[in-house]
Amino acid sequence: MKKYKTGGHQEKDKRGGTENVAEIVGLGSAIELAYKNIDEYNKKLTDLREYYITNVEKRIPDIRINGDRNARLPGNANISFKGIDGETLLLKLDSIRNLHIGRISL
């Protein structure tokens, strides 16, 4: 059997590398903690998304919510704006706290 990976001398010098057990255990613990609070976190993100969409609807007429309003990732709001230039849009949305906007011109 030929060596297929260079490095250390594990497996009678046929396989190099040793797994980083401490980091594997740490990652597992982090995933457990994240999963433990996932429902609460997703509810918070969904509430924030709805807050932002509602405030955008109040400030700017003639918008379109792209995709299904409910069947989407909790932290996602994809909105199209018709008949408004980018600078005016940014100024109208500026008053919504913590809103981060990506702009593209087609």
- Residue 14 and residue 60 in one domain: no
42 part of a folded domain: no
Q: What is the pLDDT of residue 59?
A: 86
43 part of a folded domain: no
105 part of a folded domain: yes
Q: What is the pTM of this model?
A: 0.63
Using 50, 70 and 90 to split pLDDT, how confident is the model at 8? low
Which among 99, 48, 98, 56 has a CA at the least distance from the CA of 73?
48
Kind and range of the H or E run holding 34: helix 21-36
- Residue 59 and residue 13 in one domain: no
- Residue 21 and residue 67 in one domain: no
60 phi-psi bin (left φ>0, alpha ψ -120 to 50, beta other): beta
Question: Is pLDDT above 60 for 106?
Answer: no
Please write the tens of the pLDDT for every residue from 37-76: 899 999 999 999 999 899 899 888 889 999 998 899 998 9
10 part of a folded domain: yes
Number of domains in the chain: 2
Q: What is the pLDDT of residue 101?
A: 67
Q: Long-range CB contacts (< 8 A, 24+ apart) of 98-102?
A: 99/52
- Residue 59 and residue 106 in one domain: yes
Identify the domain containing residue 87 by its residue range.
Answer: 48-106
Q: Write out the two tokens for 19.
A: 């797994």
